[in-house]
Amino acid sequence: MALIALAADKGSPGVTTAAVALAAVWPRRVLLAETDPAGGDLVYRSAAAHGGPLNPNTGMLSIAATARRGLVPDQIWDHVQPLSGGLEVLVGLGNAEQAAGLAGLWPTLGHSFAALAESPHAAADVIADCGRIAGETPVVDLFPHASLVLLISRTEPEAIARVRDRAAALGNRLHGGQRGVATMGNPMIGVVLVADTNNAAKIAGQVNDMLVHAQTGARVVGTIADDPAGADQLAGRKRGRLDKSLLIRSARKVTADLYQQYGAAWSVPTQAQHGQPLGQMNGHAEAGR
């Protein structure tokens, strides 16, 4: 199993939407962690399993005190809340000021998130919504512990240029300054484009060629449909068959492709873990109706 970190360079390309969509269809047990130092969104947009609001004080805020005394991976579950559809989440900080309480703890959290995959009691992959990583954001200290770092980008020319430069900078930071094919190591840096489904394949090919030509070490690993209606359903703002939306259908393809290409490096899921995401997906779809 693995830690998968999702991030963006600038703006609002839809990191949280992509993270929730991928987690909802993930083929094994998964924990969605809101690790954006600027604060999380789920406490405002999602209901808890009991039908009421999520507790903003149980999640990244509460885990900080535990982590300062040392964090055993299984302790993470003490700070997790289930959404109404069953998806397990570690709720993010309330605001950027609270990030000071996590100073120096990001490597500890990254190690524990990755080690949760090896837990003999409650193993799970972790999808971390890291938000924007421009500047010296401390959440980048999670990345050396990840199996995949996925940069989410839209397809406007300026967005593509920024993700190219960000991928190159991350490759330099994470892979010792090597360039080109040599940087395709651990963690791998991938790009997920939020694109119109009518031309997604063409744009993905063009952006991938650009990343290769620039020797960033990153590759386009998939596209998420630019589907505002599906995003509203996922957030519970609109009713509809979420499982039939372009957003979820594209998220399923991304996860399938990731597992086909890189899943062999991760442990084989137990029988008990099969079927968990289907329940999560059905729950999200029902919540959006």
- Selection from 2, 38, 18, 192 nearest residue 110 by Cα: 2
User: Structural domains in the chain?
Assistant: 1-264 (3.40.50.300)
In whole angstroms, give the CA distance from residue 98 to residue 193: 30
**Residue 6 near residue 18, CB atoms below 8 Å:** yes
| pLDDT, tens only, 187-214 | 899 999 999 999 999 999 999 999 999 9
Q: Does residue 222 have a pLDDT over 50?
A: yes
Instruction: Show Cβ contacts of residue 37 under 8 Å, excluding neighbours closer than 6 positions.
Output: 93, 96, 99, 102, 131, 137, 138, 139
Quick: pLDDT tens for 34-66: 999 999 999 988 888 898 999 999 999 999 989
At residue 133, does pLDDT exceed 60?
yes
Q: How far apart are CA 219 and CA 221, in angstroms?
A: 6
Q: Which residue has the higher pLDDT, 269 or 123?
A: 123
Q: What is the pLDDT of residue 259?
A: 85
State the pairing for strand pair 148-153/188-195.
parallel
Q: Where are the alpha helices (DSSP H) in the chain?
A: 15-24, 42-45, 60-67, 106-115, 157-174, 200-213, 228-234, 246-262, 276-287
pTM of the model: 0.89
Bin 217: left if φ > 0, else alpha if -120 < ψ < 50, else beta: left
Partners of 188 in the β-ladder:
148
Q: Look at residue 163 in the predicted model and tell me its pLDDT.
A: 95
Give tens-digit pLDDT for 63-95. 998 998 889 999 999 999 999 888 999 999 999
Q: What pLDDT shows up at residue 266?
A: 65
| pLDDT at residue number 178 | 56
Query: What's the pLDDT score for residue 16?
Result: 94
